[in-house]
Amino acid sequence: MKKKRTSKSGGVRARSSRNGNGETKPSVKRADEPMEWELRLYVAGNTPNSIAAFSNLQQICEKHMGGRYRIEIVDLFENPQLARGDQIIAVPTLVRRLPTPIKKIIGDLSNTERVLVGLDLKPARSFAARR
């Protein structure tokens, strides 16, 4: 599986400005702008689990993030050194980079409820509610 970028920003683009030296610096995000999710999915080649994880992630994002997300696919067969930065020990692994704090979910993301809880899109059921 090649490294791909999928972006759904709902028309919101990253803004930057140039200072007097010609350097680019990001501008401050306004409070009324929608939050954007930055997700990185680590996979190992074009395996059934990798394909399922990407497909499941796309469906969850479309349904629950309102088009305000970016997905980056990192194939560790092509770039194994990238696993160190996010401390990846298993694949597929989803890393939520933004909003902070960073969160990780391991697996093919087929259990939608657990993924939603892991991404803080849905509150976890209390222990009493499970009884």
What does the pLDDT look like over 43-66, one tens digit per residue? 999 999 999 999 999 999 999 998
The two tokens of residue 47 are 């395996």
Count CB neighbours of 106 within 10 A. 15
Look at residue 126 in the predicted model and tell me its pLDDT. Answer: 53
Q: Where are the domains of the chain?
A: 35-123
Task: Note the CATH architecture for domain 35-123.
Answer: 3-Layer(aba) Sandwich (3.40)
Residue 33 CB contacts under 8 Å (≥ 6 apart), including other chains: 12
At residue 37, φ and ψ (nearest 5 deg) are -95, 135
pTM recorded for the entire structure: 0.70
3-class state of residue 8 by DSSP? strand
User: Which pairs with CB-CB distance under 8 Å and at least 24 residues apart come from 12-15?
Assistant: 12/36, 12/68
Task: Give me the mean pLDDT over the 72-94 stretch.
Answer: 95
